[in-house]
Amino acid sequence: MTEPLYDFRSDNVGGAAPEILEALLAANAGTAAPYGDDDHTREMNQRFTALFERPVRVFPLSSGTGSNSIALAALANPFGAIFCHETAHINVYECGAPEFFTGAKLVALPGRDYRLEPATLDEALALAGAGNPTRVQPFALNLTQPTDFGTLYSTREIAELCAIAHRHGLRVHMDGARFANAVAALGCTPAELTWRAGVDVLALGATKNGAINAEAVVVFDDALARDIPFRMKRGGQVLSKARFVSAQLARYVADDRWLERARRANALALDLSRRLTALPGVTLVAPVEINMLFLRLPDAVVAALDRGPFRYYKLGRDARFVCRHDQEPAGIEALVDCIRGAALPGC
Amino acid sequence: MTEPLYDFRSDNVGGAAPEILEALLAANAGTAAPYGDDDHTREMNQRFTALFERPVRVFPLSSGTGSNSIALAALANPFGAIFCHETAHINVYECGAPEFFTGAKLVALPGRDYRLEPATLDEALALAGAGNPTRVQPFALNLTQPTDFGTLYSTREIAELCAIAHRHGLRVHMDGARFANAVAALGCTPAELTWRAGVDVLALGATKNGAINAEAVVVFDDALARDIPFRMKRGGQVLSKARFVSAQLARYVADDRWLERARRANALALDLSRRLTALPGVTLVAPVEINMLFLRLPDAVVAALDRGPFRYYKLGRDARFVCRHDQEPAGIEALVDCIRGAALPGC
Amino acid sequence: MTEPLYDFRSDNVGGAAPEILEALLAANAGTAAPYGDDDHTREMNQRFTALFERPVRVFPLSSGTGSNSIALAALANPFGAIFCHETAHINVYECGAPEFFTGAKLVALPGRDYRLEPATLDEALALAGAGNPTRVQPFALNLTQPTDFGTLYSTREIAELCAIAHRHGLRVHMDGARFANAVAALGCTPAELTWRAGVDVLALGATKNGAINAEAVVVFDDALARDIPFRMKRGGQVLSKARFVSAQLARYVADDRWLERARRANALALDLSRRLTALPGVTLVAPVEINMLFLRLPDAVVAALDRGPFRYYKLGRDARFVCRHDQEPAGIEALVDCIRGAALPGC
Amino acid sequence: MTEPLYDFRSDNVGGAAPEILEALLAANAGTAAPYGDDDHTREMNQRFTALFERPVRVFPLSSGTGSNSIALAALANPFGAIFCHETAHINVYECGAPEFFTGAKLVALPGRDYRLEPATLDEALALAGAGNPTRVQPFALNLTQPTDFGTLYSTREIAELCAIAHRHGLRVHMDGARFANAVAALGCTPAELTWRAGVDVLALGATKNGAINAEAVVVFDDALARDIPFRMKRGGQVLSKARFVSAQLARYVADDRWLERARRANALALDLSRRLTALPGVTLVAPVEINMLFLRLPDAVVAALDRGPFRYYKLGRDARFVCRHDQEPAGIEALVDCIRGAALPGC
């Protein structure tokens, strides 16, 4: 087993937060109707309604890929186009699931710092061939917030992109696998980051921030929710004992601990970033805005890291380090020591 | 909340067995690679290999519908036909998921007591138009064991059906959502009920028998396992923190408690059946072979039940009662009293 | 090459009617926009509007399977159910194309003489589980008129079935691969047989009655037509030089020759039926209402037929003979002689 | 109706070559089995076998989109990736049909002059994540020859790209909608341009070069042909009277007229290109290698053209002119005159 102290692979390699585990255990009492027709699911809906400051429809799932795919299927027809950044998680790391569930095509656009840019989107939509039967038809915009490279859209940027999308008749999906990290980093409210900025459907992930396979499709327009139960069942996304996911999600947003965890992970990454980029030869591939660092490292550093005991992901020539909510300071210190030692061999 | 004592709706309305919960909690320690590349998943594979007395490939999922669909997708091409009983769960209660994941068509056949019959299958396959491009091509046979109406195939019957399927070039999928109840009732080994009888892929459900959204696709032919990781990801069936499902499944088959629970539930149902069918006007719709009763009840009994506090499902004019592994004897007594009181008003 | 005189295999083994060929040749003059944005296609729309006595939207295709599939895709969602007779062409002979194009599931019902019956349909829809996410949702009814076994619904029966479908919220698709034979046999108008009786979309085949790979999707509700161009393109059903199909279809319905051809073929089959069923051992499998005969024949007759020169299809123990619009009387006589000779060896 | 003299919109706005029409008419004689089991289809197979100097399996279709999609479905699994140039016809102008038929994802790559480049392809495949379940798996390479912008790969370039694809385990599909123009321009044999260079499946279009909705899927590896009949039927791509397409295709390659037509169209475009680019302000957007010109034109020229009688397509700020095989010289002269008049107003 990997020693957690040295494990920087991802925020999904860690476990659950104590109060989430307690909620899961508490949900074991009594009997409950299956498939989401239970009190825990109803409570989850109420808590999300409170969190987002408006009525929402929330569906519990256990897969983030499923969550994104179901959300997108509510927006796009089989002959549709879903616009996204070329590095979007849905475009690269879901093995075609969004296309499978929607039948639509992902249209990938470039953009600085892994973010879509308003002018690029606007031009792409203008040239998308709306009404032309030889072209897939624009239906949805995907925003990955934070991006897979740990960068963030400001609420103003999201509003601007949503406005462009809506003007062209598209609906907006936010992939919020690390939604907590985004809210924590931006200091905004969940409402400001989503429906107030124009987001129609949110896939909110809790798994990476202290839950156990607990994801939520949050729908801000009731009409979009109508077919979701059928699409979920057909897609194998309905949980027999849904209460065990709903109970986690209800607890997740019941107080501010989800944000505190995210804030802590973000802060660890920022601190790590500052200390490492002070070293010779260590450069950032992407700005550090949440709990992830993408670094270009000197060969000697890579060699030192490869001697262990550290775990992290390599992406081509780059290295990714993710700070979990429960990352221990000692591990951070050890990582800095290792990299410093290799980058500054004389010291 | 429903009072568990009186809840006979389904075996998925109950909670988890104590040792399963413990295993889930224990899996929370340390970090682990996501997506099934972890020690708990490896242990699960080993334990299933021991249980089935041969090497198997096991994949953890959280949805029974997903489990069936992934298993079938390993067997059938998009232009394929999957033969099943007309009351098969995959044909009636999965909102088209098997067709969605496979692209294939389900061909539904009749059969006494909700079971496929060898002669019917053989004739259907002979007339299926193998090689004729206007016809969907026979690829797979689905056996639901136990059936959705609680009846069982004997191991001999399974072997006979599998032999017919194999002779016609089909592979065999067993939907074992209540696999434990079948093994317990038949007194056979898991191996005898599956690959020794000719089953190629098993969808084994643990959720209804004491686990929390834990299902396994068990593959008996390594070649069939090759594409499953890709199909699972594309189908939103891969769990980010798969270890929490694998740990449950590994524990589930680690000793005989899964069979003891199933035996207990089966016995409760059989006892209930004997006592109820002794009453006037109470008749069985299907033989009671596992933990489910399908009854035709006098109107007065239905009226009495509807006054509460009992919970059960109505299917048209019939009533379904399911005994959970943790069903309390007092609830059984209360149910018998209620039905007896209405069926024998003078007593 | 098969001698046409003796060829009773199908009405799609024959060629084109002279005026259809002329229309096709005439369409070769000049240039025209591709993909159906041409004058021939516009003329086709006008002529169908005249024929059906109301505005219709008509789309030209070259495949009957494509035509049915596109029509159904306008009616059914991916999690939908399409109700049809168990012997419906879309259920048996299109290799799953309707499911591929719609994502929906075909629900097959029994019915005397290969026709759906109102009570059966009504009951099936009542039990279909509308609103229940575990069940595919009722979206469409398919009526195959004539049926694949050459039987016909009366306009009253169609109206009754459509009324039931509409009452349950379904839309109605008519598979009119032999629409001409139905109109000719019933002596009704195309309008009476379709939208006046409640049909929402018609797949009208001209290929079997004198055209060359020319089929039309005829939409009676403009809202249903909206997405068809996109679904056609995505399904590879849009013709680059659509004018060559549209010109055939425009000519096809420009006068009454399509009906005369169908009447002639129907009459030949009826005559053949009367003469053959007068012979000992020759019995009808299905009533002869259009241009097809399904016969059970004595072994000696089958043996005689197998010596040639006749061509016909065998379906299990039965024999199918189809009379083409250009079937020559001498071939009919020869066929009767052959069968009579074998059935009455002494004569 | 558009005056053909002035119609430069596309090569699919024109009619059929005389001998193709004759072949179509001749196919009307007699009866023939439907769905491609006929003598014309067999003859077509033989003629293509002769043309390609090796046994091939050829399937007749009426849609180029269908042809590409069926060919790709023979190569790629539903969780697969199909690599293509970002301007590939299959990626831009088929409304998602290739994805619909294959289930796979198109991965679009950049490349100079609308052509894929070996280094780009090699790097993309190296980074494609083969074996990683979160990534779509590399299955096929699409080469559009000629490209949609009228540029050509040399046979050496095709061989190099195919070698890279094969080295990474991919099969190669060539979209040959204008295959004749490529063969004519390169002066190579059909064999050299395809299987000798490593192409596994070819979608050969005849429609744009003198046929009527006649396309062929040409398979160079028999194993790849096995499932095509089923996929074609399921995709609505099987023609009831396939002989009318097969007869055209058999005639199409029976002598050199298909190449002569293509050579003529290519020569007209080259001549036009030379004369127009000599004018001030008229520049080529893409090299002219076949029968298509993509031009950037001065505003005054566009204004002059818009006054008529010319027909051509605008793509954003650019203009596309296509020379048909039967384009009349007088039309070319008129077009040059118009553009020259506007570009050189004083002359």
Q: In this structure, what token pair is assigned to residue D185?
A: 């321009």
Q: Which of B6, B145, B175, B156 is nearest to B75 (CA)?
A: B175
**pLDDT at residue A3, as a whole number:** 85
pLDDT at C194 over 60: yes
**pLDDT at residue C24, as a whole number:** 97
Q: pLDDT tens, D104-143?
A: 999 999 999 999 999 999 999 999 999 999 999 999 999 9
The length of chain D is 347
Q: Which of B193, C52, C239, B68 is nearest to A234 (CA)?
A: B68
C-alpha distances out from residue C254 to C36, C46, C263, Å: 19, 10, 17
Query: What percent of chain D has a predicted confidence (pLDDT) above 70?
Result: 99
For residue A1, name the pLDDT band (cuts at 50, 70, 90): low
Query: What percent of chain A has a predicted confidence (pLDDT) above 90?
Result: 97
Nearest to A79 among C134, C136, C234 (CB): C234
Amino acid in the structure at residue C268: L
Q: Is D302 exposed, middle or buried (0-12, 13-18, 19+ CB in 10 A)?
A: middle
- Degrees to nearest 5, angle at CA A58 with A55 and A60: 165
- Chain A residues within an 8 Å CB radius of D100: 78, 103
- Chain B residues within an 8 Å CB radius of A29: 15
Instruction: List the B105-109 sheet strands across, edge first.
Output: B57-61, B215-219, B201-205, B171-176, B137-144, B80-85, B105-109
The residue of chain D with its CA nearest to that of A316 is D127
Q: Does D152 touch chain C (CB under 8 A)?
A: no
Q: Which of D220, D127, D112 is nearest to D173 (CA)?
A: D220
Q: Pseudo-torsion of CA B51, B54, B60, B66, nearest 10°? A: -110
Mean pLDDT in residue range D167-173: 98
Mean pLDDT in residue range D228-251: 98
Q: Does A261 touch chain C (CB under 8 A)?
A: no
Task: Kindly determine whether residue D135 and residue A79, on different chains, have CB atoms separated by under 8 Å.
Answer: no
Mean pLDDT in residue range C219-243: 98
**pLDDT at residue B346, as a whole number:** 75
Contacts of D236 (CB under 8 A, 6+ apart): C61, C63, C65, C66, C67, C69, C70, C97, C101, C235, C236, C237, D66
Q: Does B93 touch chain C (CB under 8 A)?
A: yes
Q: Does D18 touch chain C (CB under 8 A)?
A: no
**pLDDT at residue A198, as a whole number:** 98
For residue C63, name the pLDDT band (cuts at 50, 70, 90): very high
Q: Which chains have at least 3 CB atom pairs separated by less than 8 Å from chain D?
A: A, B, C
- Chain D residues within an 8 Å CB radius of C21: 25, 28
Q: pLDDT tens, C280-306?
A: 999 999 999 999 999 999 999 999 999
Mean pLDDT taken over chain C: 96
Task: Kindly determine whether residue A79 and residue C103, on different chains, have CB atoms separated by under 8 Å.
Answer: no
Residues 308-327, chain A: which have Cβ within 8 Å of D? 316
pLDDT at C1 over 70: no
Task: Kindly determine whether residue A95 and residue D316, on different chains, have CB atoms separated by under 8 Å.
Answer: no
User: How many Cβ contacts (< 8 angstroms) between chains A and D?
Assistant: 44
Shortest Cα–Cα distance, B240 to chain D (Å) = 11
Shortest Cα–Cα distance, A101 to chain D (Å) = 11
Q: In this structure, what token pair is assigned to residue B320?
A: 């379904």
Gap between the Cα atoms of B218 and A236, Å rounded: 17
Q: pLDDT tens, A262-293?
A: 999 999 999 999 999 999 999 999 999 999 99
Q: Which chains have at least 3 CB atom pairs separated by less than 8 Å from chain A?
A: B, C, D
Interface probe with D: pick from C9, C10, C31, C209, most Cβ of D within 10 Å: C31
Task: Kindly determine whether residue C79 and residue A234, on different chains, have CB atoms separated by under 8 Å.
Answer: yes
Q: Does A89 touch chain D (CB under 8 A)?
A: no
Query: What percent of chain B has a predicted confidence (pLDDT) above 70?
Result: 99
Gap between the Cα atoms of D2 and D296, Å rounded: 24
Nearest to B134 among C94, C99, C103 (CB): C94
Shortest Cα–Cα distance, D47 to chain A (Å) = 32
Mean pLDDT taken over chain D: 96
The residue of chain B with its CA nearest to that of D37 is B133
- Chain B residues within an 8 Å CB radius of A331: none
Mean pLDDT in residue range A40-48: 98
**pLDDT at residue B2, as a whole number:** 62
Q: Does D159 touch chain C (CB under 8 A)?
A: no
Mean pLDDT in residue range D272-290: 96
pLDDT at C183 over 60: yes
Q: pLDDT tens, A202-211?
A: 999 999 999 9
Gap between the Cα atoms of B240 and A10, Å rounded: 11
For residue D2, name the pLDDT band (cuts at 50, 70, 90): low
pTM of the model: 0.97
Q: Which chains have at least 3 CB atom pairs separated by less than 8 Å from chain C?
A: A, B, D
- Chain D residues within an 8 Å CB radius of B103: 78, 103
Quick one: CA dihedral C11, C14, C18, C21, positive or negative?
positive
Q: Is the ipTM of this complex over 0.90?
A: yes
The residue of chain B with its CA nearest to that of A230 is B95
User: How many Cβ contacts (< 8 angstroms) between chains B and C?
Assistant: 44
Shortest Cα–Cα distance, D93 to chain A (Å) = 5
- Local structure of D144: helix, strand or coil: strand
C-alpha distances out from residue B301 to B10, B309, D94, Å: 20, 13, 62
Q: pLDDT tens, B29-85?
A: 999 999 999 999 999 999 999 999 999 999 999 999 999 999 999 999 999 999 999
Name, of A308-312, B317-321, D207-211, the range with top average pLDDT: D207-211
Q: At residue A18, what are phi and psi to the nearest 5 degrees?
A: -55, -45
**pLDDT at residue D144, as a whole number:** 98
**pLDDT at residue C2, as a whole number:** 62
Mean pLDDT in residue range B96-119: 98
Q: Across-strand partners of D216? A: D60, D204
- Chain A residues within an 8 Å CB radius of C229: 133
Q: pLDDT tens, A111-168?
A: 999 999 999 999 999 999 999 999 999 999 999 999 999 999 999 999 999 999 999 9
Q: pLDDT tens, C134-175?
A: 999 999 999 999 999 999 999 999 999 999 999 999 999 999
Shortest Cα–Cα distance, A138 to chain C (Å) = 12
Task: Kindly determine whether residue D316 and residue A106, on different chains, have CB atoms separated by under 8 Å.
Answer: no
Nearest to A230 among C137, C227, C229 (CB): C137
pLDDT at A2 over 70: no
Q: Does C134 touch chain A (CB under 8 A)?
A: yes
- Chain D residues within an 8 Å CB radius of B230: 77, 79, 133, 137
Nearest to D79 among B35, B78, B234 (CB): B234
Gap between the Cα atoms of A233 and D147, Å rounded: 42
Mean pLDDT taken over chain A: 96
Contact B297/B8 with Cβ under 8 angstroms? no
Shortest Cα–Cα distance, B103 to chain D (Å) = 10
Q: Which of B189, B113, B150 is nearest to B290 (CA)?
A: B150
Shortest Cα–Cα distance, C101 to chain B (Å) = 11
Higher-pLDDT residue of C316, C254: C254
Q: Is D119 exposed, middle or buried (0-12, 13-18, 19+ CB in 10 A)?
A: exposed
Nearest to C233 among A103, A133, A233 (CB): A133
When computed from its CA atoms, the radius of gyration of chain A, rounded to whole angstroms, is: 21
Mean pLDDT taken over chain B: 96
3-class DSSP string for chain A: CCCHHHECCCCCCCCCCHHHHHHHHHCCCCCCCCCCCCHHHHHHHHHHHHHHCCCCEEEEECCHHHHHHHHHHCCCCCCEEEEEECCCHHHHCCCCHHHHHHCCEEEEECCHHHCCCHHHHHHHHHCCCCCCCCCCEEEEEEEECCCCCCCCCCHHHHHHHHHHHHHCCCEEEEEECCHHHHHHHHCCCHHHHCHHHCCCEEEEECHHHCCCCCEEEEECCHHHHCCHHHHHHHCCCCCCCCHHHHHHHHHHCCCCHHHHHHHHHHHHHHHHHHHHHCCCCCEECCCCCCCEEEEECCHHHHHHHHCCCCECEEECCEEEEECCCCCCHHHHHHHHHHHHHHHCCCC
Q: In this structure, what token pair is assigned to residue D194?
A: 């395809």
Q: Across-strand partners of C7? A: C311
- Chain C residues within an 8 Å CB radius of B94: 134
pLDDT at B1 over 60: no
**pLDDT at residue C346, as a whole number:** 75
Gap between the Cα atoms of A39 and B2, Å rounded: 10
- Chain C residues within an 8 Å CB radius of A35: 133-134
Question: What is the distance between the terminal CA atoms of chain A, rounded to a whole angstrom?
Answer: 33
Shortest Cα–Cα distance, D134 to chain B (Å) = 6
**pLDDT at residue B345, as a whole number:** 83
Strands (E), B119-256: 137-144, 171-176, 201-205, 215-219
Q: Is D326 exposed, middle or buried (0-12, 13-18, 19+ CB in 10 A)?
A: middle
Mean pLDDT in residue range C1-5: 76
Mean pLDDT in residue range C44-66: 98
Mean pLDDT in residue range B117-142: 97
Nearest to B95 among C93, C99, C133 (CB): C133
